[in-house]
Chains A and B, each alone.
Chain A
Amino acid sequence: MPTTTAATSAAAPPAPDSQERITAEITAAHAATAPGAAQPRIDFPPYRSSALRHPTKDPRHADPEGIELVAPVFGHSDIDPVEADLTIQHGGEPIGERMLLTGRVLDGDGRPVRHQLVEIWQANAGGRYIHKRDQHPAPIDPNFTGVGRCLTDGDGTYRFTTIKPGPYPWRNHVNAWRPAHIHFSLFGTEFTQRLITQMYFPGDPLFALDPIYQSITDRPARERLVASYDHDLTTHEWATGYRWDIVLTGTHATPLERAEHE
């Protein structure tokens, strides 16, 4: 809102932008980007925090070698099976909609990523993180930390039991709300396949308004971040079920090299 009062200090932060303005910038950025981009635009002005944190030069092509051809290895000595159930980490039941979440981790050639680490973190049912810097005035749930880990099985499948997270407000612009999401951290068989992303829920009315989700300018690519409700996974009188498959980028190792390492 423009103001002419003398009390306005030159150092006062600029008035936050409206949703209309952010939405117009999203539309413009989409129009300026070639269709089919599989990854987010790291230079995406509607996400204000990105302005000074994205490289301006194109990444340099490098042929992976040595250490880059091998992901870190994780195993049963790294985690406890109970870490896959986010609802049993405390003395009582967390508040909210209990849900089962499963899917497969595949590489770019459709091969399952076996026995590899999957890490997740999320807000509670009220949209509040346990994180000390989360200022959203929604209650912390003493029975929910919102952190989970598991290993994929021999088929590349991961499984978590958790609580459906709530949407939460943030300070990107006036009335900015993140669509409900779960953060995922994934490894492949190569260092080059490392991925951190966010999984969303089908039909969220906040999708069109969210500059982080919309930083992926290609609609089919965006929709690859949305889980599907799976009634066969839903459990009678216990939990709803969601399914989300993850595809990492392709590997560079030759079939012979892979055979030697398996």
Chain B
Amino acid sequence: MSETLAPTPGQTIGPFFHDALPYPGDSLLVPPGSAGAVRLHGTVYDGSGAPVPDALVELRQADPAGRVPRVEGSLRRDGRFTGWGRAATDAAGRYAFTTVTPGGADGGAAFFAVTVFARGLLDRLFTRAYLPGESDAFLAGLPADDAATLRVLRDTRPGAGTGAGPGDLRFDIHLQGERETVFLRYPRHAFPRCGR
């Protein structure tokens, strides 16, 4: 197929998505307490360091063996691992998922693929949350400070007021500022593909 169609532009998710997009069990990719369950959590921050209480985070991931799920049922899970979930941030800008630790898909490094939406953010953002100790050519090619923004940390002690415990995975997202998260552009996001 030769013709590339002009894409429909994005727009902000706005402030009023909470009755539509969140749903019961949205952030529970596996039942809490099940074998291998881990909590992935973090805070979304704006450029002043203030938490963003009206963001939505979506997660896409492989299973522990690195297999990519092509399984329906994310909206009504019924015990199926679909490798997808979403979590709105709370009043303190926090999100949390209960899931399993992904393996690297197709022999690559193990990471969570993450999408971020927020009121005030005019288009979605993509990023990667690499498991502790994982690396690949993309991560190694970033300046150290930038690479650090894509690394999941393992909590070593309970987080005050966050409900986090030792062994939980933490991934904060900075939309802007000194610790601004590295966000991604994939090749086919460029349109038109050539200069005008």
**A36→B8 contact, CB < 8 A:** no
Distance of A79 from chain B, by nearest CB (Å): 6
How many angstroms from the CA of A181 to the CA of B35 in the assembled complex? 44
Please judge, given known A-B contacts A61-B187, A191-B60, A246-B8, whether A41 and B122 are in contact too, CB under 8 Å.
yes
Q: Is A236 an interface residue (CB 8 A)?
A: no
- Cβ-defined partner of B82 (8 Å) among A73, A195, A197: A73
How many angstroms from the CA of A55 to the CA of B176 in the assembled complex? 5
- Cβ-defined partner of A197 (8 Å) among B11, B61, B68, B187: B11
Interface stretch among A11-19, A126-134, A156-164, A201-209? A126-134
**B186→A197 contact, CB < 8 A:** no
**A196→B73 contact, CB < 8 A:** no
Q: Is A75 an interface residue (CB 8 A)?
A: yes
Interface SS of B by simple majority: loop
Q: Which residue of B lies closest to A168 (CB)?
A: B16
**Chain A neighbourhood of B83, CB < 8 A:** 67, 72
**B4→A77 contact, CB < 8 A:** no
Q: Is B92 an interface residue (CB 8 A)?
A: no
Q: Is B42 an interface residue (CB 8 A)?
A: no
How many angstroms from the CA of A123 to the CA of B176 in the assembled complex? 30
**What band does the interface of chain B fall in when counting residues whose beta carbon is under 8 Å from A?**
35 or more
Q: Is B164 an interface residue (CB 8 A)?
A: no
**Chain A neighbourhood of B118, CB < 8 A:** 53
Q: Which residue of A lies closest to B103 (CB)?
A: A66
Q: Is B57 an interface residue (CB 8 A)?
A: no
Interface residues in chain A, defined as those with a beta carbon under 8 Å from any beta carbon in chain B = 35-36, 38-42, 44, 47, 49-79, 106, 108-111, 117, 119-121, 123, 129-131, 133-134, 145-147, 149, 183, 185, 191-192, 194-198, 212-213, 215-216, 220-222, 224-225, 246-252, 261
Besides A42-B123, A62-B186, A64-B187, 17 other A-B contacts (C-beta < 8 A): A38-B9, A51-B120, A52-B176, A55-B181, A57-B183, A63-B138, A67-B68, A70-B68, A73-B70, A108-B7, A146-B20, A183-B17, A183-B20, A247-B5, A248-B7, A248-B8, A250-B188
> Can you list 5 A-B pairs with a CB-CB distance of less than 8 A?
A38-B7, A53-B119, A66-B66, A77-B72, A194-B58
Interface residues in chain B, defined as those with a beta carbon under 8 Å from any beta carbon in chain A = 1, 3-21, 46-48, 50, 52, 58, 60-62, 66, 68-76, 78, 82-84, 102, 104-106, 108, 111, 113, 115, 117-126, 128, 138, 142, 146, 175-176, 180-189, 191-192, 196
